[in-house]
């Protein structure tokens, strides 16, 4: 029976361990935290959007970075199988808006509990509070892993140490160093699905205000890089919330020169909006502009809005000129913001960059540099939009890596059959 060491007990590591054990290997899962799946606990605001119930093509369209690399992994272990796996372990799931899948209890902890039970049943040895410090190489192969508690020999090692975001969950970038020490190229990590710092100060004065049904457009020069209708939030640094996080995936590097336009009334054309303002202003007479705007915008934004258009907030509506009204329409339909920088990696939902996928065989997740080294999860240079796609990438690449490692290390010739992977 082959001995497999899985490094990192996050989503990818749990999947890798389970599939390796089910394929007949003796598996040790090494996790330096005091518990498994610390990041899973905080996903989806504690509800865990664990996958997306969509087709393979729809899934790949949500992966901006190296989507084809994931084809085999997602075919091997697709979203529906993840859903079935959890249900089989007593964790029913529910499909919600945008085909986002959650545990029916809406408790992320139930996902980890179910997976932990499956790991126990499959006979996986779990070593918590164990940090892998280096991987030992002998004669062009890995011989095992060096931990703070001694050496663990292994026929194959699966690295699932995650990226660099939310380091308090354990993803401290260790795996990047381990992979680089073995000769792998590690592309510089950068934050995606992260808030955006704006050059303007005014968003800070609206901190905590969330806007629904607005359109956020990200441009470089005249080129539109991203445009979507949805929800966003003003913060102490600029903007966050679903639209800003998604926009961050499309941010050019460096971000300077990227601009944002916020359409506060996407349901109305400029002509319709102008007609509405004309009608309202003539009906309300001496009412102050900021008070009248409160019928169109949240109060805090309505109070600030005239100054964003270069108008006095207290101007009576019946004194507003046609030119001033057109200026109001222009800014309501395209409030400009400039991106200074994305927020730091530690605050990002996902890390972009990591182990270069060209050096990993997509049909097995095996390293092309070392015959008994495998990778899975966020430490690979793949990332996806929000909607459960990032966790599914971890489940699928983990499952494929675990299965392949078990099959390939039990085969002395080291060759996989098509049925294997």
Ligand X SMILES: Cc1cc2nc3c(=O)[nH]c(=O)nc-3n(C[C@H](O)[C@H](O)[C@H](O)COP(=O)(O)OP(=O)(O)OC[C@H]3O[C@@H](n4cnc5c(N)ncnc54)[C@H](O)[C@@H]3O)c2cc1C
Rounded Cα gap, residues 259 and 251, in angstroms: 10
In sequence order, what are the residues at sequence separation of 6 or more whose Cβ sits closer than 8 angstroms to the Cβ of residue 84?
none
Binding footprint of ligand X, residue count (CB under 6 A): 41
**355 makes contact with ligand X (CB under 6 A):** no
User: What is the length of the chain?
Assistant: 421
Q: 313 exposed, middle or buried (CB, 10 Å; 0-12, 13-18, 19+)?
A: middle
Rounded Cα gap, residues 164 and 388, in angstroms: 19
Q: Which stretch binds ligand X (CB under 6 A): 37-45, 118-126, 320-328, 404-412?
A: 37-45
Footprint on residues 200-229 left by ligand X (CB under 6 A): none
The least distance separating ligand X from the CB of residue 65, rounded to whole angstroms, comes to 13
Find the binder of ligand X among 238, 306, 388, 402 (CB under 6 A).
388
Q: Which stretch binds ligand X (CB under 6 A): 164-172, 297-305, 309-317, 410-418?
A: 164-172
Rounded Cα gap, residues 60 and 74, in angstroms: 9
Find the binder of ligand X among 2, 17, 49, 367 (CB under 6 A).
49
Nearer of residues 175 and 203 to ligand X, judged by Cβ:
175
Rounded Cα gap, residues 283 and 141, in angstroms: 81
Q: How many CB atoms lie within 10 A of CB 68?
A: 10
CA 203 → CA 28, 145, 194, 232, distances in Å?
Answer: 49, 49, 16, 12
Nearer of residues 151 and 199 to ligand X, judged by Cβ:
151
Helix, strand or coil for residue 307? Answer: helix
Helix (H) or strand (E) segment spanning residue 407: helix 389-410
**Helix, strand, coil share (%) of the chain residues, nearest 5:** 40, 25, 35
**8 makes contact with ligand X (CB under 6 A):** yes
The least distance separating ligand X from the CB of residue 152, rounded to whole angstroms, comes to 11
**7 makes contact with ligand X (CB under 6 A):** yes
Cis previous bond, 254, omega within 30: yes
The least distance separating ligand X from the CB of residue 178, rounded to whole angstroms, comes to 7
The least distance separating ligand X from the CB of residue 4, rounded to whole angstroms, comes to 15
**79 makes contact with ligand X (CB under 6 A):** no
Nearer of residues 17 and 161 to ligand X, judged by Cβ:
161
What binding mask, one character per residue, do residues 105-144 give for ligand X by CB under 6 A, x or -?
--------------------------xx------------
CA 137 → CA 326, 361, 373, distances in Å?
Answer: 70, 20, 10
**190 makes contact with ligand X (CB under 6 A):** no
Nearer of residues 324 and 396 to ligand X, judged by Cβ:
396
What backbone phi and psi angles, to 5 degrees, belong to 258? -85, 135
**52 in Cβ contact with 79 (< 8 Å):** yes
Find the binder of ligand X among 103, 170, 195, 238 (CB under 6 A).
170
Nearer of residues 9 and 203 to ligand X, judged by Cβ:
9
Find the binder of ligand X among 38, 343, 385, 403 (CB under 6 A).
38
What binding mask, one character per residue, do residues 392-411 give for ligand X by CB under 6 A, x or -?
--x-----------------
How, if at all, do strands 366-367 and 350-355 pair? unpaired
Find the binder of ligand X among 33, 235, 240, 409 (CB under 6 A).
33
Footprint on residues 11-30 left by ligand X (CB under 6 A): 11-13, 30
The least distance separating ligand X from the CB of residue 141, rounded to whole angstroms, comes to 20
Q: How many CB atoms lie within 10 A of CB 254?
A: 9
Find the binder of ligand X among 5, 6, 9, 215 (CB under 6 A).
9
What backbone phi and psi angles, to 5 degrees, belong to 214? -115, 160
Token pair, residue 187, equals 């592309």
Helix, strand or coil for residue 15? Answer: helix
Find the binder of ligand X among 103, 162, 203, 354 (CB under 6 A).
162
Q: Which residues bind ligand X (CB under 6 A)?
A: 7-13, 30-33, 38-40, 42-44, 48-49, 131-132, 160-162, 165-166, 169-172, 174-175, 349-350, 377-378, 388-391, 394
């Amino acid at each position: 029976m082959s001995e497999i060491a899985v490094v990192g007990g996050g989503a990818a590591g749990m999947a890798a361990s389970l599939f390796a054990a089910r394929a007949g290997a003796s598996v040790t899962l090494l996790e330096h935290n005091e518990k498994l799946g610390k990041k899973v606990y905080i996903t989806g605001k504690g509800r865990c959007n664990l996958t997306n119930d969509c087709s393979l093509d729809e899934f790949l369209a949500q992966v901006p970075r190296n989507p084809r690399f994931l084809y085999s992994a997602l075919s091997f272990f697709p979203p529906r199988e993840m859903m079935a796996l959890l249900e089989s372990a007593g964790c029913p799931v529910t499909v919600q808006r945008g085909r986002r899948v959650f545990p029916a209890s809406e408790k992320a902890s139930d996902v980890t509990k179910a997976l932990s039970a499956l790991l126990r049943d499959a006979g996986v040895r779990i070593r918590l509070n164990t940090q892998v410090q280096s991987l030992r190489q002998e004669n062009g192969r890995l011989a095992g892993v060096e931990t703070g508690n001694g050496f663990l020999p292994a026929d194959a090692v699966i690295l699932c140490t995650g990226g660099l975001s939310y380091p308090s969950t354990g993803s401290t970038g260790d795996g990047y160093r381990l992979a680089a020490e073995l000769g792998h190229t590690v592309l510089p990590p950068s934050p995606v699905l992260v808030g955006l710092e704006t050059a303007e100060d005014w968003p800070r004065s609206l901190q905590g205000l969330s806007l629904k049904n607005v359109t956020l457009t990200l441009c470089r020069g005249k080129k539109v890089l991203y445009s979507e209708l949805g929800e966003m939030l003003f913060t102490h640094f600029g903007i966050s919330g679903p639209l800003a996080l998604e926009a961050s995936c499309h941010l050019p590097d460096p971000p300077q020169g990227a601009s944002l336009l916020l359409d506060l009334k996407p349901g109305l054309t400029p002509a319709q909006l102008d007609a509405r303002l004309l009608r309202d202003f003539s009906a309300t007479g001496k009412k102050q502009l900021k008070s009248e705007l409160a019928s169109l915008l949240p109060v805090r934004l309505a109070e600030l809005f005239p100054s964003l258009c270069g108008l006095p907030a207290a101007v009576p509506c019946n004194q507003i000129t046609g030119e001033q009204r057109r200026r109001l329409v222009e800014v309501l339909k395209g409030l400009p913001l400039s991106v200074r920088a994305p927020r730091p990696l530690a605050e990002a939902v996902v890390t972009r960059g990591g182990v270069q996928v060209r050096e990993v065989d997509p049909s097995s997740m095996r390293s092309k540099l070392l015959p008994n080294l495998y990778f899975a999860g966020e430490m690979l240079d793949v990332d996806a939009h929000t909607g459960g796609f990032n966790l599914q990438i971890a489940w699928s690449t983990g499952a494929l890596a675990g299965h392949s490692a078990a099959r390939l290390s039990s085969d002395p010739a080291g060759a996989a059959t098509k049925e294997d992977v």
